[in-house]
Amino acid sequence: MGNKQLRVVVIGAGMAGILAGIKLKEDGYDNVCIYEKANRIGGTWRDNTYPGLTCDTPSHHYTYTFERNPDWSRYLPPGSEIQAYFERAVEKYNVGELIRFNCEVKEAAFRGSQWHLKLSDGSSDLADIVIAATGVLHHPSTPNIPGMDDFEGAIFHTARWDHSVPLDGKRVGVIGMGSTGVQIISALVGRAENVSHFVRNPQWIMPVENGYYSEAQRAGFRSDPALLEAEMNVEEYNANVERYTHALTQPTSDGAQFMRQACFDNLEQSVTDPQLREQLRPDHEPLCKRLIFSPDYYQAIQKPGATLVREDIECIEKSGIRTKDGALHELDVIAVATGFKTDQFMRSIKMTGRNGLDLESLWEKKPVAYMAINMPDFPNFFMLNGPNGPVGNFSLVDIAEKQWHYIAQLLDKIRNDDCTEVCVTRAAMEQFDAERTAAAKTTIWYTGGCQSWYLDAEGIPASWPWNYQRFVEEMETPRWDAYDLIQESSPANEETEPA
């Protein structure tokens, strides 16, 4: 291994940024900084704290492979436990010493084989390598509903939950039926006086059990790693992920039919009132949108104090939400569960690559990235969970680890002095995106007849359109003929020393 000293900057201290910090330390990089715009780590699990927050990936698979957690309380992990897990990982692996909090990267420009960074505190930095771990679900998407400012109660996006607002005995309205809206309804029925769920488009719900792990089980996991491995049943889990991704990419497959039937049966068998059942029946195929996994939403929405509202919203008034049928739904609290702007990624940063190409120009039509990791004319810039990567009802921790294995091989080319710049060629990027787009048009996301956050501005699914095994194989070793490996003379210190 070469002895080249490299300055590496990581953007974001969520799950992927923490992983990058751990792996860089492990690989002997000793000039690393993680810039985090907030005052603590966590990303999605820091920002989202709403009642009922749960990950829909099984707990024991939502961990780093090198840092298993025997102490999950439930089969599906509560958000607060996930945040605590990442906080423990930061402490155990001494990642905190790398992080600068309350420091947002505002500008990044590639000049002279280095990235010139400008930061929100007025300082600057030079980096040989930049790794974006900014995540996908961090720019809230808020609908433009007339009268939102007129509401006299509390109103907020679910990713900005105001815990000073009392909920017990109150009238709460929840707008949106993604996983977030469903989880909140389940959590608040029985606490609030009434919970009104405003649903424009119902979604299919996959049944799942969410049992508790006993103290005896957790003690067994702690004392005997073999028990934990048996609980995880990695082979079966991977087979389920493969079946799920195969169902997405092959809508006529047995796996797709199995999942469709499970969703159909869940609705038919769980909702007893025929009228309510039809109000909850989606108008699209299961899997067309990201599946919701819930053990209890159908039960919750049928309880006293729960109301499903299918009428479209006309406006918000000082005392509640008025729907287009003229009805006024009086409320004390409105929670907006309308998701995130999933096409943003690093877009709050003014980024300029080689030859003055800026990110907005490159992404004028849609976000694109080769293998979800690199972009043409953006040398030595790599992404974890970037555009066009696998997104679904499986572990993004696992996805990020496999992406890191790939990125580490690109870094080695620079570290070993094989080159000073690594960048995918434009031809390789265009070929990849053409193949990806063609494959995306055969997936259930495209053929299933629905609108979803998986679709880009052109109506094409933006996620990985192939099965999981292909992703695993692609992440094993980069296709080196897709990359330019450029050797340039070392740049002079033009403007500043690293901060």
- Give residue for tokens 């690093």: 346
Q: What is the pLDDT of residue 488?
A: 77
- pLDDT band for 496, please (50, 70, 90 cuts): very low
Q: What is the pLDDT of residue 200?
A: 95
Same domain flag for 166 and 134: no
Same domain flag for 274 and 417: no
The answer to the question of residue 265 being in a domain is: yes
Helices and strands counted in the chain (H then E): 15, 21
Q: What is the pLDDT of residue 491?
A: 45
Q: Is the pLDDT of residue 486 over 70?
A: yes
Percent of residues, the chain, with pLDDT higher than 90: 81
The answer to the question of residue 41 being in a domain is: yes
Same domain flag for 16 and 81: yes
In sequence order, the β-bridge partners of residue 293 are: 206
Single residue among 301, 336, 371 that ends a domain in this structure: 336
Q: State the number of CA atoms in the 13 A half-sphere of 210 facing the CB.
A: 22
The answer to the question of residue 1 being in a domain is: no
Structure tokens at 127: 């980096």
Q: What is the pLDDT of residues 430-465, one digit of tens each?
A: 999 999 999 999 998 898 878 887 788 888 989 999
Same domain flag for 119 and 158: no
Q: What is the pLDDT of residues 313-342, one digit of tens each?
A: 999 999 999 999 999 999 999 999 999 877
Single residue among 285, 304, 336 that ends a domain in this structure: 336
- Give residue for tokens 């501005």: 457
Q: Is the pLDDT of residue 299 over 70?
A: yes
Q: What is the pLDDT of residues 83-93, one digit of tens each?
A: 999 999 999 99
Is residue 177 within 8 A of residue 44, CB to CB? The reply is: no
- Give residue for tokens 């997936």: 443
Q: What is the pLDDT of residues 242-260, one digit of tens each?
A: 888 888 888 888 888 999 9
Q: What is the pLDDT of residue 241?
A: 87
Same domain flag for 318 and 450: no
Single residue among 287, 302, 336 that ends a domain in this structure: 336
For residues 469-489, average pLDDT: 93
116 SS3 class:
strand
158-172, 189-203, 332-346, 350-364: the lowest-pLDDT one: 332-346
Average pLDDT along the chain? 93
Per-residue three-class SS string for 295-312: CCHHHHHCCCCEEEECCC
Same domain flag for 54 and 120: yes
Q: Is 62 exposed, middle or buried (0-12, 13-18, 19+ CB in 10 A)?
A: buried
Q: Is the pLDDT of residue 492 over 60?
A: no
How far apart are alpha carbons 106 and 242 in whole angstroms?
39
Same domain flag for 134 and 258: no
Is residue 462 within 8 A of residue 456, CB to CB? The reply is: yes
Q: What is the pLDDT of residue 3?
A: 61
The answer to the question of residue 17 being in a domain is: yes
pTM here?
0.95
Same domain flag for 280 and 183: yes
Q: What is the pLDDT of residue 15?
A: 97
CATH (domain of 268)? 3.50.50.60
Same domain flag for 161 and 67: no
Same domain flag for 131 and 33: yes
- pLDDT band for 494, please (50, 70, 90 cuts): very low
The answer to the question of residue 494 being in a domain is: no
The answer to the question of residue 242 being in a domain is: no
Q: What is the pLDDT of residue 392?
A: 73
In 146-305, where do the E strands start and end? 154-157, 171-175, 194-198, 205-207, 292-294
Structure tokens at 164: 């000073």
Q: What is the pLDDT of residue 493?
A: 39
User: Looking at the 3D structure of the chain, how many domains does it have?
Assistant: 2
- pLDDT band for 380, please (50, 70, 90 cuts): very high
Q: What is the pLDDT of residues 82-136, one digit of tens each?
A: 999 999 999 999 999 999 999 999 999 999 999 999 999 999 999 999 999 998 8
Instruction: Tell me the residue range of the domain where 321 lies.
Output: 148-204+252-336
Q: What is the pLDDT of residue 497?
A: 39
The answer to the question of residue 213 being in a domain is: no
| Beta strands at 124-127 and 205-207: parallel, antiparallel or unpaired | unpaired
The answer to the question of residue 130 being in a domain is: yes
Same domain flag for 462 and 402: yes
Q: How many CB atoms lie within 10 A of CB 70?
A: 19
Same domain flag for 295 and 281: yes
